[in-house]
Amino acid sequence: MDVVRHIQEHHSQVPVAVITAFGDPKTAVEALKLGAFDYIAKPIEVDQLKAIIDSSIRLSSSETPIRPGRTLLGDSEPMNQIRAMIAKVARNQAPVHIHGETGTGKELVARLIHDSGPRAADPFIAVNCGAIPRELMESEFFGHKKGSFTGAHADKKGLFEAANGGTLFLDEIAELPLDLQVKLLRTIQEKTVRPVGEVMEKTIDVRLISATHKDLQEMIAKGQFREDLYYRVNVIPIHAPSLRERPVDIPVLAVHFVKLISEKIGIPPPRISSQALKMLATHRFPGNVRELENMLERTLALLDGDTITPDDIDLPQRASASTPGSDNAATSVSEMDGPIDEHLVNIEKKLISDALEKSGGNITRAAEMLGTSFRSLRYKIGKLGIK
């Protein structure tokens, strides 16, 4: 571990793999967090060693092409933090776990990590674990041999084999049943898969990125998620911020979606009035970015004219965004004058101040009320000068 730490501090461009007889999950996580791109327990097969060498050669290459057309929009602090994190973890091959509410763009974050790293030219396979029927899960993940069960009319590659050399993104990993979690853990540790009906194991080289909106630690306490698997997939945690954590980004996102949707349906993009942007910026958006996009798609489908006004947008709470139990958390849209940024700052200050007052000054509890992280809220308190 000292050697790994020393190399990262003094020769950070040198890729490091750890091969050891001490294969416990906590040691593996520690090595990966220190900067090792891989961690293999002895005994090691020749195919595994070849895969490690191949990965190290790719990591040593300065070429990390980024596919055009994918980006994270917004200049808020949470988005700047997540962009910096993506750049940092793209070169590292450690498993990443993305946690965030539904509609926050977890798959986009995973794709950007893949596109920014040495695996960009290889497959990116995304799968929603909750959408696979229980009886087909093992076959879908690990593949099967012809005749291994009724209906297996031909050999089939599993998701791990399909993603070989690239990245496998497991969305809603919390939906996996416990018996499959055991097999997934073995695949991650041994870097091998055994298709259903096959005798021999196959070596694979896959970077794993997972995501969920559920609290995995709470699921561990209830016996619904394996703790050893949690340590394996949650080596590098990334928080996908909700729109409530970055209201200043809503106008930028709105303009972007209006342009994209207009191109898709073949109409000139309409202008969004400043009043409409202000109204959108005060909405809480429980469905996050996905809700904003769907809302604007509905608005454009019904729009008469070339300007989107507040009357064209169907919001559940049209006049204001408020915290639970607060009727005056934001200024009425009709009362707003001046630059939108100034109003958004005032809204943020009001929401944070109210949450701190309700929590008795406890930042952790206030962060939970606002649906944000302790670190992000502490930063905001200092930046906005809130006492």
Does 319 have pLDDT greater than 60? no
Q: Would the pLDDT of 209 be above 50?
A: yes
Angle of CA points 59, 62, 67, to nearest 5°: 90
The two tokens of residue 150 are 């009724």
Token look-up 């190399």 returns 7
94-111: pLDDT as tens digits: 899 999 999 999 999 999
Handedness of CA 130, 131, 135, 140 (dihedral sign): negative
The DSSP bridge partners found for residue 18 are 39
Q: Is 122 helix (H, G, I), strand (E, B) or coil?
A: coil
Give the mean model confidence (pLDDT) for residues 195-199. 81
Distance of alpha carbon 17 from alpha carbon 23, whole angstroms: 13
Lowest mean pLDDT among 48-52, 67-71, 142-146, 290-294: 67-71
Greatest mean pLDDT among 35-49, 137-151, 157-171: 157-171
Helix spans in the chain (H): 2-10, 25-34, 46-60, 77-91, 106-115, 137-142, 159-162, 178-190, 216-221, 227-233, 250-265, 274-281, 288-302, 340-358, 363-370, 374-384
Whether residue 143 is predicted with pLDDT greater than 50 in this model: the reply is: yes
CA neighbor of 210 nearest in space, from 245, 234, 227, 194: 234
**pLDDT in the model for residue 105:** 92
Compute the average pLDDT of residues 197-211.
Answer: 88
| Cα 382 from Cα 387, distance rounded (Å) | 9
Does residue 201 carry a pLDDT above 90? Answer: no
pLDDT of residue 240: 94
Read off the tokens for 109: 């974050």
* pTM for this entry: 0.71
Segment 316-325 long-range contacts (CB within 8 Å, at least 24 positions apart): 316/283, 317/283, 317/284, 318/279, 320/282, 321/282, 321/283, 321/284, 321/347, 321/351, 323/351, 323/354, 323/355, 323/358, 323/369, 323/370, 324/369, 325/358
3-state helix, strand, coil in the chain (%, to 5): 50, 10, 40
Q: Is the Cβ–Cβ distance between 166 and 119 less than 8 Å?
A: yes
How many CA atoms within 13 Å lie on the side-chain side of 70?
Answer: 18
What 3-state DSSP class applies to 89?
Answer: helix
Q: pLDDT digits over 125-137, tens only?
A: 999 998 898 888 8
pLDDT at residue 333 in the model: 41
If you write DSSP's letter for every residue of 235-270 in order, what string do you get? SEEEE---GGG-GGGHHHHHHHHHHHHHHHHT-PPP
* Cβ-based burial of 84 (10 A; exposed 0-12, middle 13-18, buried ≥19): exposed
- Reported confidence tier of residue 343, pLDDT bands at 50, 70, 90: low
* Predicted confidence band of residue 150 (pLDDT cuts 50, 70, 90): low
- Write down the pLDDT at residue 336: 45
Confidence check: pLDDT of 277 > 50: yes
pLDDT confidence band for 330 (50 / 70 / 90): very low
Whole-number percent of the chain with pLDDT over 70: 87
pLDDT at 227 over 90: yes
pLDDT of 322:
41
What pLDDT band is residue 42 in, cutting at 50, 70 and 90? confident
Contact 209, 169 (CB under 8 A): yes
Mean predicted confidence (pLDDT) in 4-31:
81
Q: Residues of 129-140 as b/e, b for ≥16 C-beta within 10 angstroms?
A: beebeeeebbbb
Query: Where does the pLDDT of residue 308 fall: very low under 50, low under 70, confident under 90, or very high at 90 and above?
Result: very high
pLDDT greater than 60 at residue 63: no
pLDDT above 90 for 221: yes
